Amino acid sequence: MIVKNFFMHLSENQLLNKAAQNYGFKLGAHSVVAGTNIEEAIGSIKELNAQGISCTIDNLGEFVHDKAEALEAKNQILGVVDAIHQHRVDAHISLKPSQLGLDIDYDFCLENIKEIVAKASEHNIFINFDMENYARLQPSFDLMDELSKDYNNIGTVIQSYFIRAEDDIKKYSNYRLRIVKGAYKEPEAVAYQSKEEIDANFIELIEYHLLNGKFTSIATHDHNVIAHVKQFVIDHNIPMEKFEFQMLYGFRKEMQVELAQQGYNFCTYIPFGTDWYGYFMRRLAERPQNLNLVVKQVFTK
């Protein structure tokens, strides 16, 4: 827990974020971040597509403080839409509302995301709203609900550690949903804290959405959960086209390929960009063993 808190604390440090940008693509981040620009990311996506794996692209960006930074992020993501279309890769987009100005001005953020969703819709590209911390949860659902009046290429994430997740999954059951355990540090008042409670809720929510018949992305590196889902879909005759497994780029690479080879829909989450610091620290907080990845990168260079 102390180690987790340590990395989580580092992930929120804006000064270190800036330093990391200047320091460049070091600290081993390139093992879990697919490049600093879209060209590099597209190269990684083509390799994964060739192995039957689709991708969701996250143009990394956190700590957006002003409208100019949010507009810059919007333009970059519009560039990602173009790149997916031009390269004809099997990929969609994951974005974070805070990156598009959610903390600055809700309506401004709505307009930014609308522009992205509209352009993506023209090319039949799906947009996933990643879920961030608790304070941004309801506003993110509200953005999605607002945009769903005009577009159907959107969906979001349900974080199983939230006590309200059970109500949310029912309320948002019409959407394509990615279900995860939850990555941020949240207080007891709103989130389960023990691994047992989070894992149990995770399974319940996955089963609920699979039975509900809407497309479900099961995003986890947990082999126990994956094994459970494999059996559950057989027992309940859930068609393969109704769900996929998702994992992060660079994690359990062999298992990713194996699941795709076994015929499951598989999607790899591809983070790229210069703003890799917060993402990288959250991965270390989740699993300090991920430090092994870093050490390996440092010594094998």
Q: Which of 129, 134, 140, 209 is nearest to 164 (CA)?
A: 134
Return the number of the residue (86 or 224) whose C-beta is nearest ligand FAD.
Answer: 224
> In the bound complex, what is the minimum distance in angstroms from residue 181's beta carbon to ligand FAD?
4
Return the number of the residue (29 or 180) whose C-beta is nearest ligand FAD.
Answer: 180
Return the number of the residue (19 or 295) whose C-beta is nearest ligand FAD.
Answer: 295
Return the number of the residue (36 or 159) whose C-beta is nearest ligand FAD.
Answer: 159
- The two tokens of residue 120 are 């993506």
Distance CA 171, CA 214 (A): 13
Name the catalytic one among 136, 178, 282, 283. Answer: 178
> In the bound complex, what is the minimum distance in angstroms from residue 113's beta carbon to ligand FAD?
15
Q: Check if 283 is active-site.
A: no
Return the number of the residue (153 or 266) whose C-beta is nearest ligand FAD.
Answer: 266
Name the catalytic one among 58, 130, 168, 199. Answer: 130
> In the bound complex, what is the minimum distance in angstroms from residue 22's beta carbon to ligand FAD?
27
What sign for the dihedral angle of Cα 53, 257, 276, 243? positive
Only one residue has tokens 């804290």, namely 193
> In the bound complex, what is the minimum distance in angstroms from residue 46's beta carbon to ligand FAD?
19
Return the number of the residue (92 or 181) whose C-beta is nearest ligand FAD.
Answer: 181
Question: Which residues contact ligand FAD by CB under 6 A?
Answer: 130-131, 157, 159, 180-184, 219-223, 246-248, 251-252, 269, 286-287
Q: Which of 238, 249, 267 is nearest to 60 (CA)?
A: 249
Per-residue buried b or exposed e for 171-201, using 16+ beta carbons within 10 Å of the residue's own CB: ebeebbbbbbbbbbbbeeeebbeeeeebbeb
Are residues 30 and 264 in contact, defined by beta-carbon separation less than 8 angstroms?
A: no
Distance CA 244, CA 55 (A): 11
In the chain, which ranges are E strands? 54-59, 91-95, 127-129, 154-159, 176-180, 216-219, 243-248, 266-272
Give the contacts of 294 (CB within 8 A, at least 6 positions apart).
27, 28, 29, 31, 284
Checking DSSP bridges between strand 176-180 and strand 91-95, what pairing results, if any?
unpaired
Only one residue has tokens 């859930």, namely 238
What sign for the dihedral angle of Cα 3, 33, 65, 135? negative
> In the bound complex, what is the minimum distance in angstroms from residue 229's beta carbon to ligand FAD?
12
> In the bound complex, what is the minimum distance in angstroms from residue 44's beta carbon to ligand FAD?
15
Would you name the residues annotated as active-site residues?
Answer: 130, 178
